[in-house]
Amino acid sequence: MFDLNSLNPEQRQAVIHKKGSLLLLAGAGSGKTRVITCRIAHLLHQGIPAEQILAVTFTNKAAREMRERVREMVGQAAAKGMMIATFHSLCVRILKVHIDRLGFKKNFSIYASADQQRLIKDLLRELSSESSSADADQVLWRISSAKNHLISADNYQASDQDPVSALVAAVYPRYQRALKAFNAVDFDDLLMFTVQLLEEHADLLEHYGSRFQYQMVDEYQDTNPVQYRLLKLLASAHGNLCVVGDDDQSIYAFRGADVANILDFEKDFPGTKVIKLEQNYRSSGNILAAANAVIKNNVKRKDKALWTASGSGAKIEYHLCEDSEDEARQVMERIHAEKYRHKLNYGDFAILYRTNSQSRAFEEQLRYENIPYVLIGGQQFFDRKEIKDVIAYLKVIQNPADEVNLLRILNYPKRGIGAGSIDRIIRHSADRGISLWKVLQQPQQVAEVKERTASACADFTTLIKRYQQRFKKPLRLLETLQELFVELKFADEIYRQEKDPQVARRRVENQEELLNSMSVYLDRTADPDLTGFLDRISLFDDDAPGKNDKESKLALDAVTLMSLHSSKGLEFPVVFLTGLEEGFLPHKKSIYETFDIDEERRLCYVGITRAQQQLFFSGAQQRRKYGKLEQREPSRFLSEIPEELIQKSAGEQKTNSTPEDEAASASSFFDNISQMFGD
């Protein structure tokens, strides 16, 4: 059972609203999940049949938790029949009953990613024998995007300026025909076919509109075009659609989310009641004031301002560091200090950053200081494939007898040594008790290995021997590693294989960060050599924390590392928002390519509002790029925060400075940033 009196006035309004469309603008930490579950419970108490209630979420976990909370409030019997589901599971239920109207049998299969890949590759081979895995990835990604924008195979148009689109236009219809022949659909079809059913069959639209009289949608700001269309259809008969979201936390445009869905909700549903949840139950006043100051600079947004009854709290600290390593050291110092000063656990701390490649310096420093940590939303730096590929080369250059790594790189990047040839080389090595390295130096002795393959093996061994000599020069370790990158064309291989250009860019950035790791090693080591660098890396072994799923990770007493995108929906007593520089936050692609500073500002807002008690900003004066230091500029978002909310770190101030000097220094700092980006 729940008590309406336990809710604040705005929450109570949202819960008791019954008829008509409702836009619930739920700011960060405003208790939106509690409002949704209380609203469902209230409808049930008002006598609304459970079968008429539909709540849609984005994850199975969120749906499961919502069902459990409602059952705790009203009891198992009263909740029986309500539907709380993800978009995909809702559509599966509808299609299982009615997909025969689209020419499918009701026992259809759902193709997962691997099934889709195999089918696309087969279709590409029919069109061209020269197609690659990269082509398949690109085509599949484009088809998925088309379906999420409700573009069918018949309506897909190729562009003269886009060669890939011509390939998609050829494959997409064949792909859909093949799926139908196999009585199968993919995950994107689940939504698009459901929309098609409701648009083409008035009786189905009437049936489901009548059944789901009261509809609620969580995280509405993250919906894409096909999800929006589905919701509008289901609510068209009665208009009882309650959407809950926060346009200020719309940060998933790269996944297809369209912030216009929530910004234009009142136009799409005239007469909408708008309720703002602005009271925050998570963060202190100074943290919220900073968040409000940043986000108000976005022009296209719903006006709202978070507030709290819990007081101002501590000021935000800003640390301007020398470089990435200094930033990592200063963050560790603050973790040690705050842990013992306030009797906190390691699990109370989170380090947030814009790109996953930024985790490298923090991971190294955490391990150096034996501080337990977990990495959310990505692999640990030295576990990433693109990093392991480079390290495998370095290990073979150091020790050609390392056959595990030798086999990893033998045909990576591709050099014409196929799987069959590799198998014959391995058998030849095992049968004669000769090392693989020796066999590769005499490949012509291996039966059935073609001349072209033998030549590729010879080129490979020559390359390894050449770099063995180059890496013997300790003063040129960094330059030699850069030369290896260029000669092997790692970046070209990543872009060739990766279907999503943004993912490819991140993987290339990770490899560039390995150059920075080498540069740091050289700065810190009196007698550097390749063996020493590899020994340093080998300390980062598989026993390190961070191997579990997200839920179990967060349950550990360990510092959390994660990107800003991964942090949404979480909260921590102490948060370090790092890399507050132009090029990181806002990211360089938003500055020079997409010009979407608004989404970057929303990311900053999300990061700020993860903090409950203390928030630390940090940035660097210079960072390494390709191993060389380059100057950095403070993030423009710093200039948007009133200077009275921020306290400069003691490390930035002169040791003999007076309070007047410090005040002048702080004033000058903020004046400089304001001049840089405008007042």
Domain parsing of the chain, residue ranges: 4-97+191-277, 110-182, 316-378+549-648, 382-540
Mean pLDDT along residues 529-538:
77
Is 219 a known active-site residue? Answer: yes
Q: What percent of the chain has pLDDT over 90?
A: 49
pLDDT at residue 361 tops 50: yes
Identify which has the larger pLDDT, 108 or 296.
296
pLDDT of residue 4: 83
- Using 50, 70 and 90 to split pLDDT, how confident is the model at 200? very high
pLDDT of residue 183: 86
pLDDT of residue 660: 45
pLDDT of residue 555: 58
Q: What percent of the chain has pLDDT over 70?
A: 90
pLDDT of residue 14: 92
Identify which has the larger pLDDT, 2 or 512.
512
pLDDT at residue 602 tops 50: yes
pLDDT at residue 666 tops 50: no
> Is there a contact between 295 and 606 (Cβ–Cβ < 8 Å)?
no
Identify which has the larger pLDDT, 345 or 595.
345
CATH topology of domain 110-182: Arc Repressor Mutant, subunit A (1.10.10)
Exposed, middle or buried: residue 401 (CB in 10 Å: 0-12, 13-18, 19+)?
exposed
- Using 50, 70 and 90 to split pLDDT, how confident is the model at 590? confident
Say how many Å lie between the first and final Cα of the chain, rounded. Answer: 51
Same fold, 4-97+191-277 and 382-540: no
20 assigned ligand-binding residue: no
- Using 50, 70 and 90 to split pLDDT, how confident is the model at 383? confident
pLDDT of residue 291: 96
pLDDT at residue 228 tops 70: yes
CATH of the structural domain 316-378+549-648, one choice from 3.40.50.1580, 2.60.40.1180, 3.40.50.12160, 3.40.50.300: 3.40.50.300
Is 32 a known active-site residue? Answer: yes
245 assigned ligand-binding residue: no
Mean pLDDT along residues 216-232:
94
What superfamily does domain 4-97+191-277 belong to in CATH?
Answer: P-loop containing nucleotide triphosphate hydrolases (3.40.50.300)
Q: Which of 10, 186, 189, 219 is catalytic?
A: 219
Angle, vertex CA 120, rays to CA 117 and CA 121, nearest 5: 85
Give residue for tokens 């080369």: 393
Q: Are strands 628-631 and 622-625 parallel, antiparallel or unpaired?
A: antiparallel
- Using 50, 70 and 90 to split pLDDT, how confident is the model at 395? confident
609 assigned ligand-binding residue: no
Q: Which of 249, 330, 358, 613 is catalytic?
A: 249
Identify which has the larger pLDDT, 655 or 432.
432
Mean pLDDT along residues 519-533:
83
Is 531 a known active-site residue? Answer: no
* Model pLDDT for residues 502-512, shown as the tens digit of each residue: 778 878 888 88
Residue 18 phi/psi, 5-degree rounding, is -120, -55
Q: Which of 33, 279, 461, 482 is catalytic?
A: 33
pLDDT at residue 129 tops 70: no
Is 218 a known active-site residue? Answer: yes
Q: Which of 10, 32, 323, 636 is catalytic?
A: 32
Instruction: Report the 10 Å Cβ neighbour count for 264.
Output: 12
Q: Got the DSSP string for 286-346? A: HHHHHHHHHHTT-SSS-----B-SS---SPEEEEEESSHHHHHHHHHHHHHHHHHHTT--G
Average pLDDT, the chain: 86
30 assigned ligand-binding residue: yes
pLDDT of residue 617: 97
CATH topology of domain 382-540: PCRA; domain 4 (1.10.486)
Exposed, middle or buried: residue 306 (CB in 10 Å: 0-12, 13-18, 19+)?
buried
232 assigned ligand-binding residue: no
pLDDT of residue 213: 93
Identify which has the larger pLDDT, 599 or 136.
599
285 assigned ligand-binding residue: no
Q: Are strands 273-277 and 22-26 parallel, antiparallel or unpaired?
A: parallel
